[in-house]
Amino acid sequence: MGPNGSGKTTLFHLIMGLVKPCSGRVEIFGRFLQKERDFRPVRQRIGLLFQEADDQLFCPTVLEDVAFGPLNKGKSPREARDLTREILGRLGLAGFENRITHQLSGGEKRMVSLAAVLAMEPEILLLDEPTSGLDDRTREKFKEVLLDLDLTYMLISHERDFLAQTTRTLYAIERGKIVRVHSP
Amino acid sequence: MFQEPFARGTSVIHELDPRSKVVVGVSYAFFVALSTRFLTLTGALIISFVLIGLARLNPGAVAKRAMVVNGLILFFWVVLPITFEGEALFDIGPFPVTRPGILLSARITLKSNAIFFTFMALVESMSAVTLGHTLNRLRVPEKVVHLFLMTYRYVFVVEEEFSRLLRAAKIRGFRPKTTFHTYKTYAYLLGMLLVRASVRAERVQQAMACRGFRGKFYCLADFSWSRRDCLWCALMTGLLIVLVMLEWTTRV
Amino acid sequence: MSGPVLISGMALAGVGTAVGLKKLDYEAVPQAGLVSAVFFVASLIHVPLGPASVHLILNGLVGLILGWVAFPVILVALVLQTLFFQFGGITTLGVNTVIMAVPALLGYLLFSPMLRKRAFVALTAAFACGCFSVFLGSLLLALALVFTEKNFLKASALLVAAHGPVMIVEGVITALCIGFLRKVRPSMLRTFGKREFS
């Protein structure tokens, strides 16, 4: 958590190598990372869910978007397709393959972006304000899906309740430093 | 605001393989554009009507679009017979109405409508996304296809942003007039759209990088070719040959 | 339009697009696509001009931002226009692309170096580019019509003259828009140039 502009998103971007630090170094999985190339293996193992779904859903159909990650990883089109169907099914989005991305509702876009990131089969998930703009029902669904996932994740959110229900440890960024928060 | 009213349907035309539709549509369009004989043009027009009928397109939408195209043609009817040089048939006031002028206008009418209806029946009966995939399969370079798909993807987002910005301006009293202030406002709106587009594009690039993008785009589309498609291609090629012969053998 | 005109239009458009595509990195496709989307939406805006209103053409602006990439971008935007609104039609796609993109490209080659100079020089150049692009575009259209049918000469001349007021408006809007971009996001004006793309 943290006030607007405190650097939460920047932290995620640093981890993914989208932004370079002005000072200090980035160390992930025990290695120091500097160049663009160094971050490629990181991006295979860590998934980032962007704040705005529209930025992440750039392919015309849902199938293509979710399959984008696996295809880049080297899977064949058939494997990518099967993986996509499986993930969409798991998230309750069965039958969405041929939907056109810009015609989806906000909640659907968010879920499809999650599917697209999960399709990379990451070990760690970074979620940037995943529930902003979602109605209660979609938020509940999102929460269920999240709790069901078998991986480590980091959440940025302003919603204390959501954080309380989905996370074990709370950190805050204050004045450029990460502080552990003890929740009441 | 942008609609694809014909993209979904259940007619015979909608179920044909899109590749054949595009190839047939483009060939016909070019052929008609280059023809001059009235018999050929009329034949092409009839064929195009049949295609529209087969595609069972919404008549209201078809009519609306037809009016736009024919509005321009009407303009030609008014201007050409009068300004064209040639043997005059009769006079309207001081202006001679020439035969070549009338013939040309007639030709343009037949031609434009034939091309327009064929295009509507064959190409607009698929979504833009399908068109993109089809072009990819037809060996159009990948970069262009994905440029096309990405533009299409974000046109709706940009349109929405523009509406919001314009509305915000109007709420603060902006009224478009022929003034420098109006142009400045529009220029700034445009600038804002471009900046937002550029920023968003950057985020899309980041999203692509995060999902392992390595400089290759993939197209996952399933096309299936059936016997019906073979029949269709044979039929249309036959008709085209007939039209070509008409073009070469008749005089008018 | 006549055969030779259509075919040469397609050929030229093909060449221009091919060069533009070469200069377009895969990573830059989103940028180009988004600019293309804005260009498409913007071409539907109409601004008041005297008693009527005109549609913006903006090929000068697009040329200044995209350089050679303006060719494929304009082509794509025109295809979308044909799909959605039936403007033009597929046979004239090549010719229309040439009519809009060649002036955009020339505008870029002539005027973009000046965009880096002092504000006054840059904005004047932008204005000139906006005017020039529309003028050249109407000239090319007139040429295409005349080559189709010699009798169109009078009508074509009228066409070019009619674009006079639009030229001025486009010049003004292009200049103001470039001014805006220089202040808010100058990197946009360098992304597609001969400079690096990072």
Give the number of domains in chain A. 1
Q: What is the ipTM of this complex?
A: 0.85
What number is the average pLDDT over the span A61-89?
A: 85
Residues of chain C with pLDDT under 70: 1-3, 86-88, 149-151, 192-198
- Distance, CA of A125 to CA of A24 (rounded, Å): 24
pTM to 2 decimal places: 0.82
What number is the average pLDDT over the span A81-110?
A: 85
- Summarised one tens digit per residue, pLDDT across range B205-246 is 888 888 878 777 777 767 777 777 888 888 888 888 888 887
- A55 part of contact set with chain B, CB < 8 Å: yes
Asked if residues C154 and B83 have their Cβ atoms less than 8 Å apart, the reply is yes
Is B213 strand, coil or helix? coil
Instruction: Look up residue C95 and give its two tokens.
Output: 């010719």
- B218 part of contact set with chain C, CB < 8 Å: no
Q: Is residue A2 in a domain? A: no
Q: Which DSSP string do the residues of B136-169 spell out, in sequence order?
A: HHTT--HHHHHHHHHHHHHHHHHHHHHHHHHHHH
- B207 part of contact set with chain A, CB < 8 Å: yes
- Summarised one tens digit per residue, pLDDT across range B30-52 is 888 777 777 777 888 888 888 88
Q: Give C 146-165 residues with CB within 8 A of chain B.
A: 149, 151, 154-155
Q: Is the pLDDT of residue B136 over 60?
A: yes
Q: Is the pLDDT of residue A79 over 60?
A: yes
Chain A: list its partners (3+ Cβ pairs within 8 Å): B
What number is the average pLDDT over the span B246-251?
A: 73
Contact C41 B155 (CB under 8 A): yes
Q: Is residue A1 in a domain? A: no
CATH number of the structural domain spanning residue A33: 3.40.50.300
Q: Is residue A35 in a domain? A: yes
- Distance, CA of C163 to CA of C166 (rounded, Å): 5
Asked if residues A168 and A2 have their Cβ atoms less than 8 Å apart, the reply is no
Position C197 scores a pLDDT of: 38
The CATH architecture that domain C3-189 belongs to is: Orthogonal Bundle (1.10)
Binned at pLDDT 50, 70 and 90, residue B7 comes out as low
Residues of B in contact with C31 (CB under 8 A): 198, 201-202, 205
Q: Give A 108-127 residues with CB within 8 A of chain B.
A: 116-117, 120
Task: Tell which wins on pLDDT, A128 or C197.
Answer: A128
Task: Tell which wins on pLDDT, B14 or B252.
Answer: B14
Most confident by average pLDDT, B47-51, B73-77, B161-165: B161-165
Beta bridge partners of A152: A124
Residues B68, B73, B79, CA angle at the centre, nearest 5°?
135
Percent of chain A whose predicted confidence (pLDDT) is above 70:
97
Q: Give C 24-53 residues with CB within 8 A of chain B.
A: 24, 26-27, 29-38, 40-42, 45, 47-50, 53
Host domain of residue A176: 8-181
H or E element, residue A31:
strand A31-33
In this complex, the residue of B146, B157, B183 whose CB is nearest that of residue C173 is B183
- Distance, CA of C67 to CA of A132 (rounded, Å): 39
- B150 part of contact set with chain A, CB < 8 Å: yes
Q: Is the pLDDT of residue A20 over 80?
A: no
Asked if residues A172 and A181 have their Cβ atoms less than 8 Å apart, the reply is yes
Mean pLDDT over all residues of chain A?
Answer: 81
Instruction: Look up residue C36 and give its two tokens.
Output: 């293309």
- Summarised one tens digit per residue, pLDDT across range B180-196 is 888 888 888 888 888 88
